[in-house]
Amino acid sequence: MNYKQLLAFFSFFFCINHYKAQAQVLTQEDSLYAGLISKDQKTVLSGYGEARYTVNTKRKTATASLSRVVLFVGHRFNHKISLFTEMELEDALVAGQSGDEDASAKGGISMEQAFLKFNLNPTTYLVAGLFIPRLGIINENHLPTTFNGVDRPFVEELIIPSTWREIGVGLYGTIKNIPGLNYSLALTNGLNAENFTSGSGIRKGRQLGSQAGGLGIGASGSLLYYIHNFRLQASGYIGGSTALERRVADSLLLDSGPFGNPVLLGEIDGQYTNKGWNVRLLAAGISIPKAFEINRAYANNTPNAIAGGYAETSYDVLYPKHKGAKSLLVFGRYEYMDLNASVPVNGIQNDANRQQYIIAGFTFKPIRGVAVKADYVQRITGEPNPALIITPFPQQVPYFKSNGFINLGVSYNF
Amino acid sequence: MKRRNFIKKGCAACAGLAGLSFLLESCGSSLPIFKTTPEKKLLFIPEDKFTADNHHLLVRSKELENDILLIKNKNDYTALNMKCTHEGFALTVTDKQIVCPAHGSTFDFSGHVTKEPALRPLTTFTTEIKNNTIIIHLP
């Protein structure tokens, strides 16, 4: 090999390696350093969770559970478009799994939110995907360090029913000439009336982004107003509940259009916060005008109307010294709901669905983002309808019209 | 529910909301907005945009994701990014505080958290005054 051939060989070798260097896979850090990715991009991790221990004083039993651990992952593509996701694991172990832990598994895993947010301007944005429409207080504001009591308010679990998320689009913004006034409008898929039950309202009819069926549409809207020390809100929802194709719906004599067998929900709420005091009031109601038709199809004892509300007062005894940075909230709450305020002629009234909850306790926050809770819940209901009791004595689980629960809980948010 | 009934009720609801907005308009005055464009990461706002009655001004720019709340203090100005430190949603300014409509966080006019779920204070921008002009330094 002469020197020209040697020079050619080394030149060829150099070119090959230079090409390989340009084709190498860059990590995200390399790409960022090379300016290949916009400096606007940012990925954020956060989350919340809670654990609880509950004693049922009448039945002499207790439940301990890691109620939920939620992981939030958000990503900012640019200053106009962001991604928000929340994944939730309830009760530590997913039911139905195989392995040596299967016997204890009673939980589930789900997506609580996964949507893209498009900023139209600094105060107006669109969301699209699986999101939580603005209804009630807890539906959006459900982090355990932001409400009193180990349990979420029962009215907001059984009537609203939080957290209620569906697939759709939403528009959020402010009213230009009225400082503090915010609005929201949302279009989502509808409910599934087949899963309505007498004792849980429309809660089990949520489709939650899991292959929601039917042509049903849910339309909701809210006005949220901040003025002085008040937060005031009114919201409403109307949605179809026939999650079936028309052929099947027709065979069951059910309307199958976007608002077939509609569910109407309305709520108003108000909060007052000042110098450690907080007062919350909420009233909500549901109307299901076609409950007769739903019962005829599914025999699930759907009511015509549901109504309820609650009032809560709390005071932060550490506020004079710590101004909320560390807090010890003492609270009391009264809740009332009637899950079958009105039933159709083919429904069965059950006085056990008329419920009152008297709750008192405290929430200690050594720092913001961490809460230790303890409360006592007295649940008072009407007499269960014996016609609805399937399991005869002595196998029937005893029911107590008045029952007390002692709750202890820890929660975090970061 | 028939389509005609839904449209009638929907229109009535919208008219009701519009009427409510009209009524509420009398409850407060709007926060002035000053639109500008950054020059070399600086925003310039004339001091005379503030009046004797109004110590708050929203500064808006197409280049920025969020508005900046500019607050006139006794001897200087505070510039707060109107982006919630919880999940980054836009904030609303009221007469008493700064609030996040999305998840309920509240902040005072120094940018400190007064109610979670936000845990971190609002981003504050450095300001200076030169020749009757407020200059906001963007990062």
Q: B34-43 pLDDT, tens per residue?
A: 999 999 999 9
The token pair that represents A91 in the structure block: 């009760």
* Closest to A125 (Cα-Cα) out of A86, A165, A162, A76: A76
- β-strand pairing of B124-130 with A327-342: unpaired
Distances (CA, A) of A41 to A81, A226, B138: 10, 32, 18
Under the banding of pLDDT at 50, 70 and 90, the label for residue A7 is low
% of chain A with per-residue pLDDT over 70? 90
Instruction: Give the closest of B31, B60, B92 to A182, CB-based.
Output: B92
- Cα of first residue to Cα of last residue in chain B, in angstroms, is 55
Measure in Å the smallest separation between the Cα of A244 and chain B Cα atoms: 17
Residue A2 reports pLDDT greater than 70: no
A140 neighbourhood in chain B, CB within 8 Å:
102-104
Average pLDDT over residues B84-88: 94
Residue B52 reports pLDDT greater than 50: yes
**A125 to B66: CB separation less than 8 angstroms, yes or no:** no
Residue A320 reports pLDDT greater than 70: yes
Secondary structure (3-state) at A292: helix
Order of strands, sheet of B98-99, starting from the edge strand that comes earlier in the sequence:
B92-93, B98-99, B106-107, B113-115
Domains of chain A and CATH, by start: 40-413 (2.40.160.10)
Residue A96 reports pLDDT greater than 50: yes
Alpha carbon distance A37, A39 (integer Å) = 6
**Which pLDDT value is given to residue B23?**
47
Q: Which residue of A has its CA nearest to B93?
A: A180
Residue A226 reports pLDDT greater than 50: yes
Q: Kindly state whether B93 is in contact with chain A, defined as any CB-CB distance less than 8 angstroms.
A: yes
Secondary structure percentages of chain A, helix, strand, coil, to 5: 15, 45, 35
**A179 to B90: CB separation less than 8 angstroms, yes or no:** no
User: Is residue A136 within 8 Å of A235, Cβ to Cβ?
Assistant: yes
Count CB atoms within 10 A of the CB of residue B105.
25
In terms of pLDDT, which residue wins out, A232 or A103?
A232
Q: Which residue of B has its CA nearest to A230?
A: B96
The token pair that represents A155 in the structure block: 């009215």
Q: pLDDT digits over A256-282, tens only?
A: 999 999 999 999 999 999 999 999 999
The token pair that represents A210 in the structure block: 């899991």
**A228 to B94: CB separation less than 8 angstroms, yes or no:** yes
Average pLDDT over residues A162-181: 93
Residue A33 reports pLDDT greater than 50: no
Alpha carbon distance B93, A397 (integer Å) = 53
Strand-pairing partners, residue A358, are A334, A378
- ipTM above threshold 0.90: no
Average pLDDT over residues A198-225: 94
Secondary structure (3-state) at B6: helix
User: Residue A267: which residues within 8 A CB-CB, separation 6 or more?
Assistant: A135, A136, A160, A233, A234, A235, A236, A282, A283, A284, A285
Average pLDDT over residues A294-303: 96
Q: Which residue of B has its CA nearest to A83?
A: B87
Q: What is the maximal distance between C-alpha atoms in chain A?
A: 105
**Which pLDDT value is given to residue B53?**
82
Distances (CA, A) of A333 to A89, A136, A272, B68: 28, 16, 15, 39
The token pair that represents A219 in the structure block: 């339309």
Q: pLDDT digits over A327-338, tens only?
A: 999 999 999 999
Q: State the best of A277, A368, A412, A413 to mutate against chain B, taking most chain B CBs within 10 Å.
A: A368
**Which pLDDT value is given to residue B11?**
63
DSSP strand E in B54-132: where?
Answer: 56-60, 68-72, 77-81, 92-93, 98-99, 106-107, 113-115, 124-130
Alpha carbon distance B14, B68 (integer Å) = 32
**Which pLDDT value is given to residue A105?**
85
Measure in Å the smallest separation between the Cα of B86 and chain A Cα atoms: 8
A125 neighbourhood in chain B, CB within 8 Å:
89-90
Q: In CATH, what number does B30-137 get?
A: 2.102.10.10
Q: pLDDT digits over A355-388, tens only?
A: 999 999 999 999 999 999 999 999 999 999 988 8
Q: Which residue of A has its CA nearest to B90?
A: A123
Over the range A102-112, which residues count as b (16 or more CB within 10 Å of their CB) and which as e? Answer: eeebebeebeb
Helix (H), strand (E) at residue A21: helix A3-23
**A368 to B119: CB separation less than 8 angstroms, yes or no:** yes
Instruction: Give the closest of B28, B103, B119 to A369, CB-based.
Output: B119
Average pLDDT over residues A271-296: 97
Q: State the best of A137, A226, A322, A413 to mutate against chain B, taking most chain B CBs within 10 Å.
A: A226
Under the banding of pLDDT at 50, 70 and 90, the label for residue A13 is very low
Q: Which residue of B has its CA nearest to A240?
A: B1
Alpha carbon distance A242, A238 (integer Å) = 13
The residue to which tokens 């679990």 are assigned: A157
Q: What are phi and psi of A234, to 5 degrees?
A: -130, 135
Under the banding of pLDDT at 50, 70 and 90, the label for residue B15 is low
User: Is residue A251 within 8 Å of A231, Cβ to Cβ?
Assistant: no
* Closest to A166 (Cα-Cα) out of A136, A130, A140: A130
Secondary structure percentages of chain B, helix, strand, coil, to 5: 20, 35, 45
Instruction: Give the closest of B25, B96, B116 to A368, CB-based.
Output: B116
Instruction: Give the closest of B13, B60, B104 to A122, CB-based.
Output: B60
DSSP label of A62: E
Peptide bond into A161 cis (omega under 30): yes
User: Is residue A179 within 8 Å of A171, Cβ to Cβ?
Assistant: no
User: Is residue A81 within 8 Å of A126, Cβ to Cβ?
Assistant: no
